Amino acid sequence: MDAMKIEADEQFAKLRTPWKWRIRKAIWDHMEVNDIAQFPRPVHHRIPNFQGADEAAERLATLPEFQSAQLVKVNPDTPQRQVRHLVLQSGKTLLTPQPRLRTGFFSMLRHGTDEIPSTTPIEKLTTSKGAAKFGTPITLYEQYTIDLVVVGSSAVCPKTGARVGKGEGFAELEWGVASQQGNLDADNVLCITTCHDSQVFANDSEPWKALMEEIRSEEDGESEVSPFGTLTLHDVPVDIIVTPTRTIRVSDRLPKPSGVYWNLLSKQKLAQIRVLQELKKQLEDELGEDLPSGPDEVLPPTAVRKSRGGRGRGGRGRRGRGGRG
């Protein structure tokens, strides 16, 4: 964990939206030090897996918004593995991104079909490898309608729904592409996150209390400050936050984006994602002109993979394996 912390500190000043990295580091450190984290560890540069992830998923599954949804998009990270399980167990269609969008776009799965017989254990379908093996590859040009989106978070604001992920922007890119292609109604589709209670902003609890004191000292004692800065246009706020102990409906949610903001997408990020390159070329061919590119950026470091023999209680989740973590 020490090496990851040092690397994060060295990269901090070079990355976009440094206020987000300040929050991420505080949350990641807090979860590791207090053994809230679960496998894979360390949680730095991941959507952190947490104690109670399965309980949060079970609570989410009781929401009427979940129960009425037919097609649910869920991120492929480890803490949302039980969410993916419950989507399939409930007879719904699961849409999950292929890891880091490197080899494709989405995989679509529905248990109890000709493609995936009911004899197939659901546990085999909820890892990234399982989704790729058993799922139907979905391209940019398929017709489908997303009813509900579930994302992971490093931190989230219960008032505005402002969300901080792991820093790579995949949730926003997936939302942008799906809304641009007409598969997602950005104005009406709800976005829900599951996370640990300590990841939800609160003035009077750690790690937020220490972070707020640090910010106030820099702001000459200003009391009405927030660690959450201004979101960029492509950031997707959440409507509902589900933890192992509570369900929070965001009271004053920020507006959601629609489409891909090409003027914010750096050449470095575009070079990593084939599906975005394909979409950009298609649009440029249709328009007969080049689309803009975003400013250059230093891409964040990715997480270090370790075995399950990590520290503390990591790895005890019932289904805490797989995913892009």
- If you average pLDDT over residues 271-287, what whole number do you get? 94
> Average of pLDDT values for 174-188?
96
Q: For residue 129, how far is the Cα from the chain centroid?
A: 18
**Contact indicator for 173, 200 with CB cutoff of 8 Å:** no
pLDDT at 7: 54
Average pLDDT across the chain, whole number = 88
Residue 143 predicted with pLDDT over 70: yes
| Chain centroid offset of residue 193 CA | 8
Per-residue pLDDT averaged across 249-253, rounded? 95
Residue 229 Rama label (left phi>0; alpha psi -120 to 50; beta): beta
**Quick one: pLDDT at residue 224?**
54
Residue 61 has pLDDT above 80, yes or no: yes
First CA to last CA across the chain, in angstroms?
16
If we measure between CA atoms, which residue out of 306, 311, 299 comes closest to residue 325? 306
> Helix, strand or coil for residue 142?
coil
Q: How many other CB atoms sit within 10 Å of the CB of residue 216?
A: 14
pLDDT of 299 strictly over 80: yes
The pLDDT score that the predictor gives to residue 220 is: 63
Which pLDDT does position 320 carry in this prediction?
Answer: 41
- CB-CB contact of 23 with 154 (8 Å): yes
314 band by pLDDT with thresholds 50, 70 and 90: very low
Kindly state the tokens that stand for 165. 């992920």
Provide the β-strand partners of residue 192. 150, 240
